[in-house]
Chain A
Amino acid sequence: MPGKLTIRVDQDKCQGHARCKSLAPELFELDEFGNAHEIGDGAVPAGLEDKAWLARSNCPEIAIEITEQ
């Protein structure tokens, strides 16, 4: 069984490309400046793991961290 994933957007790195929001709207939200944040505590619901990895691998600023428990 794969472990549970947690995502976090590094606010020093995010520049608001919004690629994560487009690929995984269930996991990311944008603030008034268009910068991305993980929704809630960043816990990735079961079934959305692939979307989390996809968002990470499309972030040009490498701003998305994923931890696996």
Chain B
Amino acid sequence: MSDPVSTMPGHPPVTDWLHDFDHTDPRWTENPFPIWDELRAQSPVVHTERFLGCYLPTTYQAVKEIAYDTEHFSSRRVLVRDERPEVKRNAAPPITSDPPEHKPAKQLLLPPFTPDAMKKLEPRVRAICNELIDGFLADGKCDAAAQYTKYIPVRAIAHMLGIPEADSDRFITWIHQILELGIKDESILIQAVQEMTAYFADHIERRKQHPTDDLISTLMNARDKDGQPLEDAHVLGSLRLLLVAGIDTTWSAIGASLWHLARTPSDRARLIAEPGLMPVAIEEFLRAYSPVTMAREVIGETTVSGCPVKPGNMVLLSFPAANRDPAVFPDADKVVIDRKENRHVAFGLGIHRCVGSNLARMEMTVAIEEWLKRIPDFRLDPAGKVKWSEGTVRGPRYLPFLFGDEN
């Protein structure tokens, strides 16, 4: 099994961010916020020749214009990578779908992910959190990324899909290969996708003999507008999406929230004293530490915030950078856990709003509530250095904590 914090092979280091940005540069991985601030001050849209040509919108407004413009910006490629191989049908609908195919594919997935559906899953997630805490509480310390935040989303989505939670490490390896290593090594990505497809094909075959009431069966039983079952390829594509999209992302969001709380005792104390503040605080964590950067491909010449954009280029659609735009969020660099107005775009904007947003919120809320109940005081372990994931999804992958008061 590969090391989940292994690094990608090198690109030349960036010296000119304005004309040569690179979201895999170690400086971006470690602390992207000053880079985005510097670029935003120069232009709402910047360009790099890397990745065969790619734009980065730096402002909330520019991100919004692109997210709403499905005529000039296609979702057929959702990762900015070194290579741009031929687009495959049914790659991962609906995230890789454009209108008019997008809406029917999305509507199939929405009912299982409503807030009410998430309430039914919540007790299982609470139990998972407590089982994980039981595993390290007596040690007085842990790597919260490897021992806690990592396993909450993967086990929750496995539970929903009806696949073994015990296969979690295998899923996490595939996702690391697709979302991180795959940016620079096409063969690693292809192999991971093939393994994942074979895994789900096997589960589909089993359900043809023995139907179940999980999310895999829901998709197998879905009918299109003509009353026909979905092609197997569509079902497999959506299953790949559900597995890939819901794990690294929420792992990152829970980890970044705990990282903030480890360094901010006053916010910990406030959340314990005012549990009703939790939903607002969760939105602020989502704004300040949005994990997910999406991508689009330019398919028609247009302008964004007055800047010309040309077909043949990709777009790194940085919801995290939009959420740090001081034109929209006062004190954008500060985490204000009772921020009243917070139109953050952590889950995207427009038709591609994250289908799992209610799941992510529930997992974040439960994970932080259960943690604070059992470990109200904790801090970063000065003996270790926090490591962040590279590329498209940003969050802590090594998060050493010590429990209890400093004294």
Contact = CB atoms under 8 A, between A and B. Distances in A.
A15 B353 contact: yes
B343 A16 contact: no
Interface of A is mostly: loop
Contacts of A58: 283, 341-343
B344 A60 contact: yes
B135 interface: no
Interface residues of A, number: 19
B279 interface: yes
Contacts of A33: 107, 110-111, 114
B388 to A, nearest CB: 25
Interface stretch (A1-9, A18-26, A39-47): A18-26
Contacts of A57: 340-341, 343
Contact of A17 (B113, B340, B347): B347
A61 interface: yes
Interface residues of B, number: 22
Interface string A43-55: 0000000000010
B357 interface: yes
Contact of A34 (B114, B343, B345): B114
B350 interface: yes
Contact of B113 (A34, A61, A62): A34
Contacts of B353: 15-17
A50 to B, nearest CB: 10
Contact of B349 (A23, A54, A60): A60
B61 interface: no
Contacts of A23: 279
A32 interface: yes
B375 interface: no
Contacts of A18: 115, 357-358
B351 interface: yes
Given A57-B343, A60-B344, A15 B351 contact: yes
Contact of B110 (A16, A22, A59): A16
Contacts of B343: 57-60, 62
Contacts of A21: 115
A19 B114 CA distance: 12
A30 interface: yes
Interface string B254-285: 00000000000000000000000001000100
Of B283, B349, B353, most A-chain CB atoms within 10 Å: B353
Contacts of B342: 58
A32 B283 CA distance: 23
A32 B111 contact: yes
A34 B107 CA distance: 10
A19 B283 contact: yes
B238 to A, nearest CB: 16
19 contacts: A15-B351, A16-B110, A17-B347, A18-B357, A19-B283, A21-B115, A22-B115, A23-B279, A30-B116, A32-B110, A32-B114, A33-B114, A34-B110, A34-B114, A57-B340, A58-B341, A60-B347, A60-B349, A61-B350
Given A18-B115, A18-B357, A22-B115, 4 more contacts: A16-B353, A17-B357, A33-B107, A34-B110
